[in-house]
Amino acid sequence: MNNENDQLRPLSLDDSETLKPLSIDTNEESLRSSVPLSKTATNEIKNRNSNFVFFFGNPQSGKSVILSSLLYYLSSQVGVLRPIIGSPNSQEVQTLLYDFYENIRQGYLPERTTVGKVLEIDLVFEPNNKSKKVPLVNLTFLEASGEDLRAIKRGGNFQSHISKYLSSNVPLTFIIVTSYDTADQDDTLINEFLDELERKGKNLQPVSIILVISKWDLSGRMDVESPEELDNFVANNLRRTSQRFDANELSKTFYTIGNVESQDGKQKITLLNLDTAGVLSNWLYESITGYPLDYEGTFWERIKFSFTN
């Protein structure tokens, strides 16, 4: 996998491919939030044929916003996303996806994750790309509340509803989230989490861990001028994390959902931006399969595609 920083910049789109802002309908009432309860035992986790994606971050760091917009991008721009048939929480996942998609469409931010529970979403992602090198994949997204994740602070331990995933022998990808406006406060906690991963026997590999600086729009911009701008931000605000990520050649990126304004005491999306959701989606898929979502196909596939298009 190519780990150069320029791979983590927002997608460069020409005029014909520019993602248009989505129309936000503010007339419909806000839909309720539904959080599936995870009742999975450790031995059941080991028998699951899926790729687990674990979000880590402090309360209000933006984990839920990233998760919902990531799912929205995957299903609206590059493929089909559906619950795994026969999974124990398929009905709850269907309800959750509906709420996620409708909330984003209307400009509402997702509700915070319930304390003491793990949000577990079992999905099948089937890319639009028809190359055999770009197969469908099973994805299980995991999100716990920031309050529960802070349990490891000062040498503490995760509760069983979180630790069972880290102790299981399943494919795990970690998305570590910190916010643009509070990154300097998260440095120690992130390092404690990396220590915990190593204690659990999880190798810190470039293909399995990424640092995401959320709420980048608070900088006044939706992008960065160069990869060095992101590196400098991390180095200045997350000094220990920066050293550790650079030493292990781990990935870093930034994230924004677009323009967010306060309306009637609530935060509302007034202009949706999916560029960074595309960057993170591509990194996630390639880290699992070894191929990018926009892979052009083998030599023979390219010939075939040229005749069919």
Q: Does the structure show a pLDDT above 80 at 88?
A: no
CB-CB contact of 122 with 83 (8 Å): yes
Q: What percent of the chain has a predicted confidence (pLDDT) above 90?
A: 50
Burial 177-206 (b: 16+ CB within 10 A, else e): bbbbebbeebbebbbebbebbeeeebebee
Distances (CA, A) of 96 to 17, 34, 87, 143: 29, 6, 14, 13
pTM (predicted TM-score) = 0.81
User: Domain tally for the chain?
Assistant: 1
CB-CB contact of 212 with 66 (8 Å): yes
Mean pLDDT over each residue of the chain, to the nearest integer = 82
pLDDT single digits (tens) 29-58: 443 444 444 444 555 565 578 999 999 999
CB-CB contact of 180 with 237 (8 Å): no
Residue 234 within any structural domain of the chain: yes
**Alpha carbon distance 51, 142 (integer Å):** 11
Torsion of CA 126, 287, 131, 121, to 10 degrees: -10
State the pLDDT at residue 33.
45
**Alpha carbon distance 218, 21 (integer Å):** 19
Q: Does the structure show a pLDDT above 50 at 4?
A: no
State the pLDDT at residue 306.
52
Tell me which residue range forms the domain holding 99: 32-308
Amino acid at 42: T
Residue 43 in 3-state DSSP?
helix
Residue 172 in 3-state DSSP?
strand
State the pLDDT at residue 77.
95
State the pLDDT at residue 301.
52
Q: The domain spanning residue 234 has which CATH number?
A: 3.40.50.300
pLDDT single digits (tens) 207-248: 799 999 999 999 999 999 998 999 999 999 999 999 999 999
Q: What is the DSSP string of 103-167?
A: HHHHTBPPPPPPTT-EEEEEEEEEES---TTS--EEEEEEEE-HHHHGGGGGG----HHHHHHHT
HSE toward the beta carbon, residue 66, CA cutoff 13 A: 32
**Alpha carbon distance 171, 50 (integer Å):** 7
Which of 235, 298, 297, 293 lies closest to 73, judged by CA? 293
| Phi and psi angles of residue 125, each rounded to the nearest 5 degrees, phi first | -110, 120
**Alpha carbon distance 289, 171 (integer Å):** 12
Residue 1 within any structural domain of the chain: no
pLDDT single digits (tens) 100-155: 899 998 888 887 777 878 889 999 999 999 899 999 999 999 998 889 898 888 88
**Alpha carbon distance 135, 120 (integer Å):** 23
State the pLDDT at residue 117.
81
Residue 158 within any structural domain of the chain: yes
Residue 8 within any structural domain of the chain: no
Residue 10 within any structural domain of the chain: no
State the pLDDT at residue 20.
38
Residue 20 within any structural domain of the chain: no
Which of 190, 286, 192, 204 lies closest to 234, judged by CA? 190
pLDDT single digits (tens) 266-308: 888 999 999 999 999 999 999 999 999 999 876 445 555 454 5
- Which pair of structure tokens corresponds to residue 142? 């995991």
**Alpha carbon distance 82, 63 (integer Å):** 21
Residue 97 within any structural domain of the chain: yes
Residue 24 within any structural domain of the chain: no
CB-CB contact of 165 with 52 (8 Å): yes
Q: Which residue has the higher pLDDT, 65 or 34?
A: 65
